[in-house]
Structure 1
Amino acid sequence: MPTDICFSFTGFACRGGRTDEHRDGWGIAFFEDKGCRVFRDYLASSESPVAQLVQHYPIKSTNVIAHIRKATQGQINLANTHPFQRELWGRYWVFAHNGNLDKLPTLVGKTYQPVGTTDSELAFCLILEKLRAQFDTEPSAEVLFQAVSQHAGELAQLGTFNFMLSNGEWLFVHCTSHLHYLIRRAPFCKAHLLDEDVTVDFAEVTTEQDQVAIIATQPLTDNENWIALMPGQMIGFMNGQVCWQAQTLPETWFEARRQAAKTAA
């Protein structure tokens, strides 16, 4: 069921310059059927008037992607602020990335071009170009998940590639360093934020039919059992539950990491 994210966003926004160093802009996208509301600001989320608006505006959505930025490539401006949005097969796609990618390949197609100068937006365009060339019409979500996992594995070998990708129907998430998730379902209990002294009793604001998956780089609450994703793990969510899983990185990637750790030691 569509739900608002006021509780989670209250803690998440604090990490944009108040409880964490990600103060180079922020953004959030709410899917409503085929429509999508996107709010972005180059100011830190802990200081942004737009973030305060969103925090107190209970927009209900089935899929939400929020991002707070610590710039690695590209200036601090609105064009370089996540999440990024494009159209593919008559639907909006939204993408947000945490990490840094070096030596990305040159775009071959001409349909998707970056507006800003980040590695993140370029990676998004590369994935969309490959999918557009691969499929004439929109395939099933399961087939899409397998295709995106292949492309994600190729790009992840160029750096750190934690990302979220959604078209409003499903949500794909990929990890190379840090990513956690939990699923809230009945019987609901109280949850307490890590970044703010705020507690909500979900039993009072939900029904037994509600089910919500929350995914974040680091856990947002300190009294719930968050599940850590492993490097190279990609998960597909739909209707608040895990539907698909894949390992995107080859064993050679892990062996190179082990050898680098030995050399550093």
Structure 2
Amino acid sequence: MCELLAMSANTPTDLCFSFTGLTRRGGVTGPHKDGWGVAFYEGKGVRAFHDADASARSRIAEVVQTHPIKSEVAVCHIRQANVGDICLANTHPFIRELWGRYWVFAHNGQLRRFRCPEGFYEPVGDTDSEALFCDLLNHLRRHCHRDSPRDEVLAWLVRLSAAYASEGVFNLLLSNGDWLFSYCSTKMTSITRRAPFGPARLKDADLTVDFAAETTPDDVVSIIATEPLTTDETWDPYQPGEWRLWRKGEVIRSGQGPVRPD
């Protein structure tokens, strides 16, 4: 299986600390050595990096680890291939435009028999993940529009995620730059850091950061990951079937099952 990582923050924040821990799992402390990718939103733009090499030995990953790219939303993925060749076209996160925004998608799981019906969006590579992304966007394009209320779009995301999860393992990260949607089929966890900030130590690398020295009292930064990345913090695990919608570091909607009216 692959591993996921995302960030939602109320102020532009770099992902260097968490990304450093995750990259070690791509070939050193974990088996996810079949490519990696990360996407950072900057306004409506997306700065993306992909590599078909293992993240633990990727020179491009070294640049991302040491260059503090500031973003309010970031999505990252390290791959252990089970469907599709090991190549750049099959590295997550995948990116498409819908309603004048870039949508970024990363998936952990497997739906071997899934085939994307013909539609406006088509996969470039040969992974089930990209086919799922295209199918999801085709449904949104068909049933919603650019001015649809957020809860209407959210209801479709939850409905589709549950349908995909009924056919296999479907752990999802999806963002349009304004919000971040996460869905847990089997395994996902999160942590929200806010004042008073303290130190944190990575599980997979000899690195500790004192967030009190790196933040302001008003900062709120949430990290979503497949597995906890630190050893000295309390992470909040998702339950199977649970979804959370994040915006500016906070959970603004969550549940298990269909979206209920506020």
Identify the TM-score tier after normalising by the shorter chain. over 0.9
User: How far 1:104 moved relative to its partner?
Assistant: 1.8
**Quick check: 2:52–2:91 contact (8 Å CA) kept in 1?**
yes
Correspondence 1:184 to 2:184: no
* Equivalent pairs, count: 248
1:124 equivalent in structure 2: 133
> Which whole-Å deviations, capped at 9, do the CAs of 1:168-197 have from their partners, x for residues lacking one?
110001111110001000010100100011
**Quick check: 1:145–1:244 contact (8 Å CA) kept in 2?**
no
Three-state SS of the structure 1 residue aligned to 2:133 is helix
Three-state SS of the structure 2 residue aligned to 1:10 is helix
> Which whole-Å deviations, capped at 9, do the CAs of 1:17-45 have from their partners, x for residues lacking one?
01000000000000000000110000000
1:225 equivalent in structure 2: 234
Which residue among 92, 100, 121 is the counterpart of 2:102?
A: 92
Paired with 1:239 and 1:44, the residues of 2 have a C-alpha distance of 31
Which residue among 172, 179, 182 is the counterpart of 1:170?
A: 179
Q: Which amino acid aligns with 1:38?
A: A
Which residue among 181, 194, 203 is the counterpart of 2:203?
A: 194
Write 1 or 2 for the structure with the bigger share of strand. Answer: 2
Identity of aligned residues (%): 49
**Quick check: 1:190–1:202 contact (8 Å CA) kept in 2?**
yes
| Relative contact order, higher structure (CA 8 A, sep 6+) | 2
User: How far 1:163 moved relative to its partner?
Assistant: 1.1
Paired with 1:151 and 1:163, the residues of 2 have a C-alpha distance of 11
Paired with 1:52 and 1:141, the residues of 2 have a C-alpha distance of 37
User: How far 1:143 moved relative to its partner?
Assistant: 2.5
RMSD between superposed Cα atoms in Å:
1.1
Q: Which amino acid aligns with 1:78?
A: L
Paired with 1:175 and 1:128, the residues of 2 have a C-alpha distance of 19
Q: Superposed, which structure 2 residues align to 1:250-265 within 5 Å? A: none
Correspondence 1:33 to 2:50: no
**Quick check: 1:26–1:41 contact (8 Å CA) kept in 2?**
yes
With the length of structure 2 as denominator, give the TM-score of the two structures. Answer: 0.92
Which residue among 4, 25, 47 is the counterpart of 2:14?
A: 4
Correspondence 1:161 to 2:170: yes
Which residue among 118, 143, 151 is the counterpart of 2:152?
A: 143
Instruction: List structure 1 segments (4+ residues) > 3 angstroms apart after TM superposition.
Output: none
**Quick check: 1:27–1:41 contact (8 Å CA) kept in 2?**
yes
Instruction: Specify the structure having the higher radius of gyration (Cα).
Output: 1
1:50 equivalent in structure 2: 60
1:152 equivalent in structure 2: 161
**Quick check: 1:179–1:216 contact (8 Å CA) kept in 2?**
yes
**Quick check: 1:152–1:248 contact (8 Å CA) kept in 2?**
no
Q: Which amino acid aligns with 1:64?
A: A
Are residues 138 and 125 of structure 1, via their aligned partners in 2, closer, same or farther at CA, if it must alter by over 3 Å?
Answer: farther
Q: Which runs of 5+ in 2 are unaligned?
A: 1-10
Q: Which amino acid aligns with 1:141?
A: R
2:71 equivalent in structure 1: 61
Correspondence 1:207 to 2:210: no
1:263 equivalent in structure 2: none
1:21 equivalent in structure 2: 31
